[in-house]
Amino acid sequence: MLKICLCSDNHGDMDSLQQVLSKNPACDYYLHCGDSQFSPEQLRPFISIEGNNDWNYDFPKQLILEIGGHRILLIHGHGYTYQMDHFVRKARNEHVDVVFFGHTHMFTDKVYSGIRFINPGSTFYNRDLTSPCYARVYFYDDGSIRTERVDL
């Protein structure tokens, strides 16, 4: 089993990321879906992509990761999140079966057109008025994935 700590949209709040790290000292991957408003060096050990508020830093716009037998797109999602058919098309063009994304500030774990979309919500502020949160994502040897929402 592989364990991923997945965060997004902390918008300059380093305390929330420190809480995530202190509660998850033994993850295989620490991934961030953008809008950290910190440099890559400040975000370590998180691997991150660029969110629409990270324009001051040199992050890739997206990453393709191969984890636990899955091909994963790590992307912020602005420009896609409100039109899922466009997001599905993007995922298919990248030949991925899982998408980790942010931007909406709302926890999501849904399958659209056979592609799993996971948004960890925001560690800063969720627009659906739920508690700030992140996700733990577990990849099992049989290929299955389990997502756990963790409130801060």
Convert the pLDDT of each residue in 66-98 to its tens digit. Answer: 999 999 999 999 988 778 889 999 999 999 999
Query: 2-151 is classed in which CATH architecture?
Result: 4-Layer Sandwich (3.60)
State the pLDDT at residue 29: 98
The pLDDT assigned to 80 comes to 80
CA–CA separation, 146 and 152 (whole Å): 19
- The 3-state DSSP class for residue 93 equals helix
CA dist 95 and 9 (Å) reads 25
Tens of pLDDT, residues 20-65? 999 999 999 999 999 999 999 999 999 999 999 998 899 999 999 9
Q: Provide the residue ranges of all domains of the chain, joining segments of one domain with +.
A: 2-151
d(CA 145, CA 4): 11
Cα–Cα dist 138/2, whole Å: 6
According to the model, what pLDDT value does residue 66 have? 97
Residue 101 contacts residue 77 (beta carbons within 8 Å): yes
What per-residue confidence (pLDDT) applies to 79? Answer: 82
Beta strands in the chain, from DSSP E residues, in sequence order: 2-7, 29-32, 47-48, 62-67, 70-75, 98-100, 107-112, 115-120, 133-139, 145-151
Nearby residues of 22 by Cβ (< 8 Å), 6 or more positions away: none
**How confident is the model at residue 83, as a pLDDT?**
82
